[in-house]
Amino acid sequence: MREVLMPQRHLREAAADAARRTAPSGLGLDSIHVRHRMVQRLKQAGLQDERVLQALAEVPRHEFVDSALAIQAYEDTSLPIGHGQTISKPSVVGRMIAMLMGGAAAQQQGHLGKVLEIGTGCGYQAAVLARLAKQVVSIERLKPLHDKALSNLQSLQLSQIRLIYGDGRLGHGGSAPYESIIAAAGGEDLPAAWLAQLAPGGRLVAPMVAPGGRGQILVLVDHLVEAGISRYVRSEYEAVHFVPLKSGVL
């Protein structure tokens, strides 16, 4: 008799799982505690900006990856998002956004201002940026990923994000200038359009192929204006590993 009843118990559990609308029961990924644990680890690893940590704590990263990978969403690792692309590591997202927060315009305003992101991917970083910015314009060259990001971001109702399908090497002149520019793909050069669209006091951070062509490094550019004359000051940071910045759209 007990054996006959067992399947019914399982069915009830399955129905309860479905009603909770979460990934398989037991993962608890919707819990803020899972994200806080991730943020604590990032803090221990050296990410200090509390505003950035708070933004990372607020975005449900597991909703941006395939459900089969959701269980890994709060580990500090990049994960495949299809079409040969990846969602960036939380520590790198945090590091680059913290660098942007140190730009002159961002420091003055207390937020990132208007941000241009090149490489929307699944939209995760755009959602983090939106918590620290007035507006986010994010460009993706792969139509299926642009569409995926649209649907991922819909449920978060972030009205200050504008997603563009296009070649991010050209920036997005229509919304320029930007106080902050961030690239999630690394090329051999910094496209001229990015520098042209960077506001005075603005800061750009991007991965770039390292001098000598081996690996990538993070590059930071500040647009300074002294006595009415623009100056672009570039500095180089640690090695990183991003997907390549490509031209054109697909």
- Under the binding rule (CB under 6 A), the answer on residue 206 touching ligand SAH is no
Strand-pair partners of 209:
216
Segment near ligand SAH (CB under 6 A), from 41-49, 84-92, 155-163, 196-204? 84-92
DSSP 8-state symbol, 88: P
DSSP 8-state symbol, 189: S
Question: Can you say how many angstroms the Cα of residue 36 is from the centroid of all Cα atoms in its chain?
Answer: 18
Q: How far is the CB of 107 from ligand SAH (least distance, A)?
A: 24
Say how far apart CA 245 and CA 207 lie, in whole Å. Answer: 9
- Under the binding rule (CB under 6 A), the answer on residue 121 touching ligand SAH is yes
- Under the binding rule (CB under 6 A), the answer on residue 145 touching ligand SAH is yes
Q: How far is the CB of 184 from ligand SAH (least distance, A)?
A: 4
Buried b (16+ CB within 10 A) or exposed e, 49-85: beebbebbbebbbbbbbeeebbeebbeeebbebeeeb
Q: Assess whether 88 carries a catalytic annotation.
A: yes
Say how far apart CA 23 and CA 239 lie, in whole Å. Answer: 34
Say how far apart CA 100 and CA 94 lie, in whole Å. Answer: 10
Choose between 55 and 145: whose C-beta lies nearer to ligand SAH.
145
- Under the binding rule (CB under 6 A), the answer on residue 140 touching ligand SAH is yes
Q: How far is the CB of 81 from ligand SAH (least distance, A)?
A: 7
Say how far apart CA 39 and CA 42 lie, in whole Å. Answer: 5
In the list 55, 87, 112, 181, the residue contacting ligand SAH (rule: CB under 6 A) is 87
- Under the binding rule (CB under 6 A), the answer on residue 178 touching ligand SAH is no
- Which residues are identified as catalytic? 88
Which residues form the interface with ligand SAH (CB under 6 A)?
A: 85-88, 118-122, 124-125, 139-142, 145, 167-169, 184-185, 243, 245-247
